[in-house]
Structure 1
C-alpha cells in the first residue's frame, strides 16, 4: 500500500482508537499491527503530529503493577477533527466503490 495513503488511514485509526479510550503508544502500535503491518516510528510520527495540532494530549499514567507510561488522550478539537475525517473517508470510499463498479 502507498505510504502516504497508509499514513492517512493510520491517522484515522489512531483517532478512532483514542476516541474510545486513552492509550499509550506501544499499545496503539500493537493494536494496529494485529491487522496491518506498520513501522512503530509511523505511529509515533502521527501521534506527534496530532499533539502539535492539539488533536490529542499527553498525560503520565501509572498502573498499580506496572511502569509509568505516557498516555495519549483525544481533545475536543481532536474529536471534531475525527468526525470530519470520518465523513471525508466515507465520501471517498463511496466514490471509489462507484469507480470500481464502472464498466469502462
Structure 2
C-alpha cells in the first residue's frame, strides 16, 4: 500500500479503533496490522501527538503479563474529531469513486 495513503489515514484509523475500545499502544499496532502493514514506530509518535492535542487521554492498568500498561482513551474532543474525520472520509471516498470508476475489460 502506498505510504502516503497510510500516513494520511492512520490518525483516523487510530481514533476509530479507540472509539470502540480503550487500547494500549501495542494492541493498536496489532489491530491495524491485521489490515495494513505498519510498524510500532509509526503509532507511538502519533499517540503522543494525539495526547498533546487532547484528543486522547491515558491511564495505567495492571497487566498479568508484566508491568502496568498505558491505555489510550478518546476524550470528548477526540470523539468529535473522529466523527469529523468519518464525515470527511465518506465525502472523499465518494469523490474518488466518482473519478476512478473501474474499467471493464472485454
- Per the TM superposition, whether the score is higher than 0.5 is yes
Taking the aligned partners of 2:62 and 2:100, their CA distance within structure 1 comes to 48
Q: What secondary structure, in the 3-state scheme, does the structure 2 residue paired with 1:12 have?
A: helix
Moved over 6 A (4+): none
User: By how many angstroms is 1:101 displaced?
Assistant: 2.6
Q: C-alpha deviations, 1:50-70, integer Å up to 9, x for none?
A: 11110001111113x233101
Q: C-alpha deviations, 1:60-86, integer Å up to 9, x for none?
A: 1113x2331011010000000000001
Q: TM-score, normalised by structure 2?
A: 0.88
Taking the aligned partners of 1:4 and 1:71, their CA distance within structure 2 comes to 27
Which position in structure 1 is the counterpart of 2:65? Answer: 66
Question: How many residues are matched?
Answer: 102
1:6-85 correspondence to structure 2 within 5 Å: 6-63=6-63, 65-67=64-66, 68-85=68-85
Which position in structure 1 is the counterpart of 2:91? Answer: 91
Q: TM-score, normalised by structure 1?
A: 0.89
CA 1:38–1:102: 2 relative to 1, 3 Å = closer
Unaligned residue ranges in structure 1 (runs of 5+): none
